Amino acid sequence: MSNMPANRFRAGLATGKTQFGVWLGIPDSTAAEIMAGAGFDWLLVDHEHGSFELRDVMTHLQVMAAYDVAPIIRSVDGSATLLKKLCDIGAQSFIVPMIDTAEQAAAVVSAVRYPPEGVRGMGTSLARASRWNSIPGYVGNANDEMLVIVQAETVTAIENLQSIADTPGIDGVFIGPSDLSASMGHVGNASHPDVVETVGNALRTIRSAGKFAGLLCLDESQIAHFEECGANFVGVGVDTLLLGNAARGPVSYT
């Protein structure tokens, strides 16, 4: 409807083209704006591990709104109170970490949707998402623009992956190779053959359930393989690593 903010990430995924993006861990919004103009399909604000306060997340959303890039928020956890606040400041696409069961996945879906589909509290007069109650019909249409991706990153989650992916309202599942490798007994070795095989099989399971599948893959040589396994969206970088690697280049001249 008129003035209703559309979910850019959902629109990108709907094209059928693999969506590539970068993790944002630097809380300064200038870094986010630089990345927003770099040409990636999406940028993820990492509220889980990055040093972001809620105001920082909102500032990042405001900065990215001027660019043709889809914002994703990775929340600290699946807390309904936290997710409500993130919805109100304008988040529409979520990756929620450490989801091990279908019950946990269902709780996340409920947290980001207004009744009767969920339990999101009404607060549109105070919400950036509704432009402070100036979007006609916002509460009747907001649920349709929410995109919920849960993160499977433990052996338990992989064991329950089919039921997690089949959970109504779950749009996709993201595989976290680093934590998964630790859960599998290969701490710090996400490239271990057993981990790579497990991730590939997980992506196939997610796609067979008709859901979007994604992962973070910083090894360029593995990206094509995971695309073949069904990955719809792939994180290919982290702003802190990109900055650090770029900075170390010129040091060779000194």
Q: Which of 49, 186, 192, 225 is catalytic?
A: 49
Closest to 58 in 3D by CA, of 34, 81, 90, 25: 90
Alpha helices in the chain, H assignment, sequence order: 8-14, 29-36, 54-64, 80-88, 102-111, 138-141, 155-159, 161-165, 177-183, 193-208, 220-229, 239-251
Q: Which residues pair with 21 in a beta bridge?
A: 42, 235
Is 192 one of the catalytic residues? no
Judged by DSSP in three states, 152 sits in strand
Q: Phi first, then psi: give them for residue 219, nearest 5 degrees.
A: -95, 105
- Evaluate whether 52 touches 39 at the Cβ level (below 8 Å): no
Specify the length of the chain in residues. Answer: 254
116, burial (CB in 10 Å: exposed 0-12, middle 13-18, buried 19+): exposed
For residues 106 and 158, give the distance between their C-alpha atoms in angstroms, rounded to a whole number.
Answer: 17
Active site amino acids: 49
